[in-house]
Amino acid sequence: MSLIPHLINGELVTDNGRTADVFNPSTGQPIHKVPLASRETIQQAIDAAKAAFPAWRNTPPAKRAQVMFRFKQLLEQNEARISQLISEEHGKTLEDAAGELKRGIENVEFACAAPEILKGEYSRNVGPNIDAWSDFQPLGVVAGITPFNFPAMVPLWMYPLAIVCGNCFILKPSERDPSSTLLIAQLLLEAGLPKGVMSVVHGDKSAVDALIEAPEVKALSFVGSTPIAEYIYAEGTKRGKRVQALGGAKNHAVLMPDADLDNAVSALMGAAYGSCGERCMAISVAVCVGDQVADALVDKLVPQIKALKIGAGTSCGLDMGPLVTGQARDKVSGYVDDGVAAGAKLVVDGRGLSVSGHEEGFFLGGCLFDHVTPEMRIYKEEIFGPVLCVVRVNSLEEAMQLINDHEYGNGTCIFTRDGEAARLFCDEIEVGMVGVNVPLPVPVAYHSFGGWKRSLFGDLHAYGPDGVRFYTRRKAITQRWPQRASHEASQFAFPSL
């Protein structure tokens, strides 16, 4: 098996320490090994970034943007190759992988606007012969720690913007599917990024702790589970770092009695079962207002779930591939077992699925529970698999209270034709990203992504305008040039106009 290298200071390097297997989830077999970086390797990347920072921060934003324009072109030219790598190591379908990459490219496009987004503010004559302005300045060396479920898109949420803001970036991607992430970073170098400005280091908790503890790293971006997000936020902030840590989710879709049910079912199928449910914005709970809505929804969902086309992600025309690891499959199956034991009605059971020719793959079919109640574990916890739970309530107010009481507040949506209900929902729901007849309300790149409550630790959301604020510090400058002929006496009162 080949060893996937680190990318440090523009060079592909390996160390002689620990390694981990990278699996093809469709076959269940290891296909590569990935090095788990030592602290010495992490420090090499930090030293390279420190050395590159002075020149990069002084590079004009327009020239930084030119690198991103070339990078965008290279990503588009290599779409098929990148999608293949994602599918081979993650398991998601080729179409889903291509869609992920396209959403990542949107963030590169936003970064291309560096001269505009980094413009400061200027005020002339704020006082006698006094001008004032603000400037956005880079932090220095920053780092990102990204999850397995979006090996292309989530890193592209982070480093294009961090880099055009003048920082140097160290990326620690998931060790489960690192090949596409590494290739994309190599394309950035091909686009003209100077050596040391961007490094990729593979690893596990040891690498994460090394980045947290390094005083040279000024900021950390993280996307993953809530326990790890909370850990990184606590450990990073107590060391004076700026931290943006996005955690888990339990996303609800509310179906009103007036909803266009056929379109809602189509939307739920993609939102619940796309990418095998391994999305932090996946809809995992359908909250039906009234038994009539719930009964009709279940009746329409069952045949479509049973008809899901499931197979090796690299095959064409599929709806779902496997879960990323055997451990992930077994964990999701355990949740299904727990739901049955708790008394929920398992309407569609996807356990025990075997795909011909890929019997050792990490497959699990779509699952559907009805009559789920809030005290059940399958309702409270993030399952991160192809499991949809139907909860029945009597009113919109009851549905909203259910959502607002949950510990997570990442994404939610409502299906309705009633503008008043939609407006109330958008105003009163305690969730960071809200959709109206949109099941996956992931903001476009020129807005920002982030949840509320225990779905986000930190004050600023990812990418977009919040991303600019996260990766820069504002400096306010007040300047005065007294007239030559004037002489002013000392002032001991606090200065004012």
- CATH number, domain of 378, equals 3.40.309.10
CB burial of 327-338 (b: ≥16 within 10 Å; e: otherwise) equals ebbeebbebbee
How many domains, in total, are found in the chain? 2
Average pLDDT over residues 423-447: 96
pLDDT tens by residue, 338-366: 999 999 999 999 999 999 999 999 999 99
What is the extent of the structural domain holding 299?
251-436
pLDDT at 492: 83
Which amino acids are annotated catalytic?
280
Average pLDDT of every residue of the chain: 96
Residue 223 sits in the same domain as residue 263:
no
Residue 270 lies in a domain: yes
167 and 277 assigned to the same domain: no
Please check whether residue 88 is in contact with residue 314, taking contact to mean a CB–CB distance below 8 angstroms.
yes
Q: Tell me, what's the pLDDT at 66?
A: 98
Q: What pLDDT is stored for residue 497 in this prediction? A: 63
Query: 284 and 388 in contact (C-beta within 8 Å)?
Result: yes
Tens digit of each residue's pLDDT (9 = 90 or more) over 177-196: 999 999 999 999 999 999 99
Instruction: Evaluate if residue 20 carries a pLDDT over 90.
Output: yes
CA 365 to chain CA centroid, Å, is 25
Does 485 have pLDDT greater than 70?
no
pLDDT of residue 488: 72
User: 490 in a domain, yes or no?
Assistant: no
Query: Which pLDDT tens digit goes with each residue over 287-342?
Result: 999 999 999 999 999 999 999 999 998 888 899 999 999 999 999 999 999 999 99
Q: Does residue 449 lie within any of the structural domains? A: no
Domain membership of residue 301 (yes or no) is: yes
Q: Residues 370, 461: one domain? A: no
Summarize the confidence of residues 369-393 as an average pLDDT: 98
Provide mean pLDDT across the span 85-94: 97
Examine the fold and report which residue of 436, 465, 485 is the final residue of a domain before the chain moves on. 436
Task: Say whether both 192 and 281 belong to one domain.
Answer: no
Q: Is residue 68 part of a domain?
A: yes
Q: Are residues 294 and 233 in the same domain?
A: no
Residue 156 pLDDT greater than 90, yes or no: yes
With contact defined as beta carbons under 8 Å apart, do 65 and 113 qualify?
yes
441 occurs within a structural domain: no
We report the CATH number of the domain holding residue 152 as 3.40.605.10
369 and 399 fall within a common domain: yes
